Structure 1
Amino acid sequence: MKDIILKAENISKQYRLGQVGTGTMAHDLNRWWHQVRGKENPYLKIGDTNDRSTKGESDYVWALQNINFEVERGEILGIIGKNGAGKSTLLKILSRVTAPTTGSIKFGGRVASLLEVGTGFNGEMTGRENIFLNGAILGMTKKEITAKIDEIIDFSGCERYIDTPVKRYSSGMYVRLAFAVAAFLEPDILIIDEVLAVGDAEFQKKAIGKMQDISREGGRTVLFVSHNMAAVKSLCTRGIVLENGNVKFDGKIENAVSFYLSGDSESQNKKTFSSEYDKKEFRLHEISLNPIGKSSDDVLDEYQKIEINTVFTLKDIDSKLHVTFVLNNEMGDSLFTFSHVNNKLKLNQGLNKIKCTLPEGFLNIGSYYLSLYIIENSQTTLFVEKDIMSFNVQEGEREIGSWMGKEPGFIKPKFDWLID
């Protein structure tokens, strides 16, 4: 049996655009009149999807629509998506900051949330006083807070300023103290929305380590929103991708990140070819990529060996064909050319399964495009198709506090180094 601590059912949130007070009373009266007659709210039938990049036709917009998911106790769930996808709105609903327009949420424990820098803090009160204030909001007794206060202050690194009003804190100090309060006062569900980006690398490392500890050892649940895919992959076990207010993907975190980065639910790592690739001399069946020892459904990251597989039928052994690829980056620059003839391998008549393995950690993070050339007798090009397929190399799991993001360059060869 699953131990479900949070369940969201048919969550939707509708907002009215424009200035407050322009026609709102008429809309409210219309809602009331429908309610008196036992009819549905008329404004739930209208409204545009949550796409910030387009001009809508309605005064109403659905920030979220029909969101359904469950979270198990002890699970660390990553919620990812583009700006405006509805992530913060969802977390505000889960934190009870705002109510959903439709739907319901069932909780199995106490919730602590860190939605933005300074959430729940009184600027005129000292750091110490705010610890007690936040603890009281979370339902802790003064005795329970006192027992934890030394750990909270030590973890936050703000001991020197703990008796200073927090309005004089920097944004980094704010979030350090706020996170320490939320984490150490032992909520059953901890909700974190991007605020760790304000902290420095040292604090990010401590904070994510703490979230892992409270999940593994305390059996507590964490909901984590971030645009830092390395942090998400390092911390979370499962991911939800939001797009225009809808859940587009729910599954393993590696696959969720892949879906988010590719913007497409279909695998980018496999392509099967139709009869138009059946020529007089050959037939091209399939090209696929996969991490070594895994399938093409698995994501490719910067630290893996990558296999490129080509399934190809040679119809006439006398044709002396060879398969050549050119790898291009997203700007169309050709990075290098590679072919099986460089290893003095020859195609056999009939079906051939050609495998090329790129070294571990060879390709940098980014999007790549393969162009295919079929060459006859090492001089005549029988077939060419530029950008025959594309694939993405993701950021691998990294230690929090180390360099995050893409390093300069498109390839990362491992050279031999020696120090005498």
Structure 2
Amino acid sequence: MGKDIILKAENVSKQYRLGQVGTGTLSHDLNRWWHQIRGKENPYLKIGETNDRSTKGNSDYVWALQDINFEVERGEVLGIIGKNGAGKSTLLKILSKVTAPTTGSIKSRGRIASLLEVGTGFNGEMTGRENIFLNGAILGMTKKEIASKLDEIVEFSGCQRYIDTPVKRYSSGMTVRLAFAVAAFLEPEILVIDEVLAVGDAEFQKKAIGKMQDVSKQEGRTVLFVSHNMAAIRQLCTKTIMMENGMIIFEGSTNDGIDYYLQSNQYEGYKGIYNNESVGESGFVNISLVDKENVNRTEFGFDESIVIKIKVKVARQHLKAHLGFRLVDRKERVIFTSEIKLSDKISEAGIHQFEVKLPQKFLVPNQFNLTFGLHLPNVELIDYREECLSFEIIETGSDLHIYGKNDYGCVFVDCNWGIIN
């Protein structure tokens, strides 16, 4: 049985001109026209640089997208992940026909409903009820079809009291609630969702993800979902693509995609390695953070294994010293301290390497700093490295995200729960 392809991108590229002028100068437009009437290629497609927002380029043109190819089957939920500026939103705008590709084509079968920004497609002067009918008409639905869905849309959005109030008076949270309800309930074949769910509260996010699951699994409709929330991507998506600098660098299963994202999305502000080439008679030589594959990392998923490797030089007179570290979060809260007595592990002076495995599913999503110390208790501080390593735990599948931005503590402890009848 053949694939039921509902959306296909073929060699899609999008070029922008940098600076204050959006589409190019008059001379550039005339040059394009002259090439076009002679049946020749646009001369400005041969120039332009990769879309790396962190570097200063030499060209006035940049490729926001370059040679994008993928297929989406009916009923599939495609997750699109990547750093800010990777080209995700540009791709969704092209898929939604908000803007046209410079080269390539998008082939789709069915209506596409898009939720790209807060209030996309809404008229601020019109009421919530009027905007529902406006969006339905844009999707090609009759007034009767829209009216049959009206009560469900209003109930899901939770905006009953304000449904006859102009949308310009809505908060961003209310606007995105109503916009999502309209997009989801007006039965498009393809639902395109950008990172707008981050605007809603935890209760709405949970409802929205549940609705997207129903839309894909029960109703057989297709969803394209852009998010930085790896827990939502893992929960919802059947396939994932990762973008970087306007290109697709990964396409495959969601779990593999999230692993690839975490390994490649290492923020430069974190420190995963400490080196000291001028150690005295005793002290830290090297400290590093690695994953289960022994790869140096500074971002980890909630359920990933984190290993600290410590290489330390120990003189004979320091064999009874204590070696330890302290973990502190971004609010300067001390999470825990761990320490060993060297003489319990080693008996000779020299350079020794220790490996410390942090418990999995223990540290909640947060940013952390590590401080290391080597000391003879109450006698001598031999070496002290304050906040020499730092890393982040990313939400990748716990239930903690349902609490939104509430403080759910520092660690998640799997206690021994029993039932007393």
- Please say whether Structure 1 and Structure 2 have the same fold, judged by a TM-score greater than 0.5: yes
1:118 aligned residue: 119
Q: TM-score, normalised by structure 2?
A: 0.71
Matches within 5 A, 1:302-321: 302=302, 304=303, 306=305, 308=307
Distance verdict in 2 for CA 1:177–1:355, change over 3 Å = closer
Please say if residues 16 and 23 of structure 2, whose CA atoms lie closer than 8 Å, have aligned partners that are also in contact.
no
Matched residues in 2 for 1:173 and 1:354: separation?
Answer: 50
How far 1:46 sits from its partner (Å)?
1.0
Please say if residues 372 and 388 of structure 1, whose CA atoms lie closer than 8 Å, have aligned partners that are also in contact.
no
Matched residues in 2 for 1:363 and 1:203: separation?
Answer: 22
Is 1:395 matched with 2:395? yes
Q: Give SS of 1:262's match.
A: coil
How far 1:178 sits from its partner (Å)?
1.4
How far 1:354 sits from its partner (Å)?
8.0
Gap regions ≥5 residues in structure 1: 272-286, 313-319, 348-352, 374-384
Is 1:412 matched with 2:411? yes
Gap regions ≥5 residues in structure 2: 274-287, 312-318, 347-353, 375-384
How far 1:195 sits from its partner (Å)?
2.0
How far 1:355 sits from its partner (Å)?
8.6
How far 1:390 sits from its partner (Å)?
8.5
Is 1:301 matched with 2:301? yes
* Partner AA of 1:78 in structure 2: I
Matched residues in 1 for 2:23 and 2:12: separation?
Answer: 27
Is 1:189 matched with 2:190? yes
CA RMSD between the two structures? 5.1
Matched residues in 1 for 2:59 and 2:415: separation?
Answer: 62
Matched residues in 2 for 1:202 and 1:363: separation?
Answer: 20
Matched residues in 2 for 1:21 and 1:416: separation?
Answer: 58
Q: Give SS of 2:69's match.
A: strand
2:214 aligned residue: 213
1:350 aligned residue: none
Please say if residues 126 and 162 of structure 1, whose CA atoms lie closer than 8 Å, have aligned partners that are also in contact.
yes
1:278 aligned residue: none
Distance verdict in 2 for CA 1:8–1:23, change over 3 Å = closer
Q: Deviations over 1:53-98 (max 9, x none)?
A: 333322212111122222233224233321x322221111010011
Query: Percentage identity across aligned positions?
Result: 59
Matched residues in 2 for 1:308 and 1:119: separation?
Answer: 44
Q: Deviations over 1:255-279 (max 9, x none)?
A: 2441454269xxx99x9xxxxxxxx
Matched residues in 1 for 2:415 and 2:140: separation?
Answer: 58
1:180 aligned residue: 181
How far 1:45 sits from its partner (Å)?
1.0
Please say if residues 14 and 61 of structure 1, whose CA atoms lie closer than 8 Å, have aligned partners that are also in contact.
yes
Matched residues in 2 for 1:22 and 1:156: separation?
Answer: 38
Matched residues in 1 for 2:388 and 2:169: separation?
Answer: 57
Matches within 5 A, 1:17-166: 17-20=18-21, 24-72=25-73, 73-82=75-84, 84-166=85-167
* Partner AA of 1:153 in structure 2: V
Matched residues in 2 for 1:359 and 1:258: separation?
Answer: 16
Q: Deviations over 1:301-345 (max 9, x none)?
A: 33x4847599x9xxxxxxx9xxx78577799x9x87768989x99
Q: TM-score, normalised by structure 1?
A: 0.72
1:262 aligned residue: 266
How far 1:4 sits from its partner (Å)?
2.8
Please say if residues 16 and 22 of structure 2, whose CA atoms lie closer than 8 Å, have aligned partners that are also in contact.
no
